[in-house]
Structure formats: structure tokens, C-alpha cells
Amino acid sequence: MNDAGRAATVPPLPESLHFIQRDWLSSNNLLCFEGENATLVDSGYVAVVDQTVALVNVGLQQHTRELVPATRGSVRLTRLINTHSHSDHIGGNAAVKRAFNCEILIPATMESMVAAWDEEAMLLGVAGQRAERFTYDGVIAVHSRFEMGGLIWQAFPAPGHDMSALVFYCAEEGLLISGDALWEDGFGILFSAFSDVPTAAADVLAVTRTTLEMISRLDLATVIPGHGPVFGDPEAALARAFGRLDAFTRDPLRLGRNAVKAGFTFNLLDMGRLEAAALPSYLASIPFFRDINRRNYGMSNTDFAAWLLREIIGSRAARVEDGWIIPSGKA
Ligand SMILES: [Zn+2]
């Protein structure tokens, strides 16, 4: 189905929710209004946090004008809640907290890595990504219920793309805030498959399947994903996600290839451009890429770089101009 066909099936969000779609470097943001207070879900990537703060301000002002009588003052951002631990979702936490003086709640499942600021567990330097360290004020416990945007949400564990991820489900409206556990077309890179534990890939595929099965048992009308547009027809999206998972299960080497392509495309968006001649040494300098190649493919740095360049040009994720690799803006 084309994009227009998909968009036509999306039920409108409740007016207390304000969705902000971003690109692939930054996660989407969701503003949830509760009277004169607002909650933000995910803060985006650190490189674009000024834009995030500006977009949140626009959303707050718009809501103040439309829904809160002028005499009652303005709407304030009082809470920030994260869906999971990755840099494109938590990278702006510190700056958003500074800008709005809001509290930060994180999934209880990621508390230990944030408390210790475990950059390896959070896939920061090890994957060539960045985030500003932040302090959190509380946690969202697995299976807990909480109010946001005047609606009751339940937090379900959604391991796979991130073993500490939660998704937030509103039964009353059939809404799911899915983070990167389910997109309209697939799900986020299965990063955890690339640890030192030999059985990790099979385990990660199995928990990802359990997560998708859990989501398919929910009574859903609309999904609010971490990337891409809000979508209806969750059955079709789940069918695509299961198809992708089946393909990874049949050919586990595909998992690593996908992780390298998607991970590098993200980093390229962050860097802006990279000299094609520097690609072999760049890949060798980032443990995430280097180790996937070493463990799974054993290519030379030059061959690994040549393969990756062919792949990302072929999928139109990037192009080469005057010796520079330029991202096209899509993952
Ligand atoms: Zn993401």
C-alpha cells in the first residue's frame, strides 16, 4: 500500500496528545497535555536538541491558546518519560530538563545503566553515538499504570531492539506508544544480538518474537511509533514485523548486516558526511561495527567498507559526491 493509502486509515489522536514526527536521527516526540501540565515522551538525539526544545515550546504555546483559557496561565512541561535507553530517545534529556525544569522518569528496566551512566550498555561511544548525561527523578515500573494526557497507560516490557524497552498502552483509546519495538515497517536494529554471548542472537530473536506476540494480543487501533508516522492497521504492521523477524531467523547473518547498515546510516546523519576513503578506518574505530564484522564476516577493513558503501548507495540511504559519503536522510 502506498503512503497515502496507509495515512487514510489512521484514526485521529485524542486532542490531549500532540505528535511531533522527526527524522531518523532523532526519535519522534509526543506531548501529552493534562490540564496546565504536559508530559513529553522521548527527548530525541543530542545533536538536534535545540530543535526539540523549540518544537516542544511551539506545542505548549499552541495548546495554551487552543485549550486552556487565557486566564489560567500557560501550559508547562512538567514530566519527561523515556520509552528506552537509546541515544536518539534520551540524548536530549539533560537539555530538556534544563529548558523546562521538568522531572524525568525512565523505565525501571534501564535504571541501573543510567544510574551508573554505563556508556557501553547504552550503546554510546561503543556504537559511535552520543548523549548528554542526565539525572532522573523516578522510574516507570514494568506493568505499572500511570496517567498521561488525561488517559491511563500501562507499561509493558518490550525487549528486543532494546532489552530494557517499555511500550505504553492505553486500552481506552486502543493506543500504543511503541518506541522502536514496532514501526509501520519493521522495528529498530536488534542491537543486543551482538554481545559476546554466543547464544545472544537466538535469544534476542526469541524475545523480539515474544514482544511482537504480546503487542498482537492488545486491542489496538493506532500506534504512535518512535520513528515514522502514526499509523493505523496494526495487524498489517505486525505482519511486516513478523516477516522481518522470520527473515532474520532463517538467516542470522542478515541481522548483523542490517545492524551495520542501519547503525552506520544513523552515525552518518549525525556526522553530516564522511570521506569515502576514511570509511575503512572509521569502521575499524567503532567497536560495534568492527566486532560484528570480525565475529560474523571476517572481511578486511577495505572489503567491509566497500560492501557497506555498495549497500547504502543501493538502498539510497546515502550517495557519494566528490569523494564524500552524504546521507540522504532516510534510514
Ligand atoms: Zn530510535
Centre of ligand 1 to C-alpha 84, Å, is: 8
Please write the tens of the pLDDT for every residue from 119-166.
888 888 888 899 999 999 999 999 999 999 999 999 999 999 999 999
Please write the tens of the pLDDT for every residue from 223-282.
999 999 999 999 999 999 999 999 999 988 888 899 999 999 999 999 999 999 999 999
Burial class (CB in 10 A: 0-12, 13-18, 19+), 242: middle
- Nearest 10 degrees: CA dihedral of 215, 220, 224, 225? 30
Centre of ligand 1 to C-alpha 69, Å, is: 36
The architecture that CATH gives domain 3-250 is 4-Layer Sandwich (3.60)
Q: What is the Cα–Cα distance from 312 to 314, expressed in whole angstroms?
A: 5
Q: Which residues contact residue 329 at a Cβ distance below 8 angstroms, ignoring those fewer than 6 apart?
A: 23, 24, 269
Centre of ligand 1 to C-alpha 23, Å, is: 10
| Collapsed DSSP state (helix, strand, coil) of residue 325 | strand
Centre of ligand 1 to C-alpha 54, Å, is: 20
Please write the tens of the pLDDT for every residue from 178-235.
999 999 999 999 887 776 554 578 889 999 999 999 999 999 999 999 999 999 999 9
Centre of ligand 1 to C-alpha 86, Å, is: 7
The rounded percent of the chain whose pLDDT value lies above 90 is 79
Q: Which residues contact residue 241 at a Cβ distance below 8 angstroms, ignoring those fewer than 6 apart?
A: 182, 183, 186, 187, 212
In sequence order, the β-bridge partners of residue 157 are: 166
The rounded percent of the chain whose pLDDT value lies above 70 is 93
Centre of ligand 1 to C-alpha 189, Å, is: 9
Centre of ligand 1 to C-alpha 15, Å, is: 25
Q: What is the Cα–Cα distance from 316 to 310, expressed in whole angstroms?
A: 10
Domain ranges in the chain are: 3-250, 264-327
| Collapsed DSSP state (helix, strand, coil) of residue 261 | helix
Say if CB 218 and CB 176 are below 8 A apart.
Answer: yes
Centre of ligand 1 to C-alpha 297, Å, is: 26
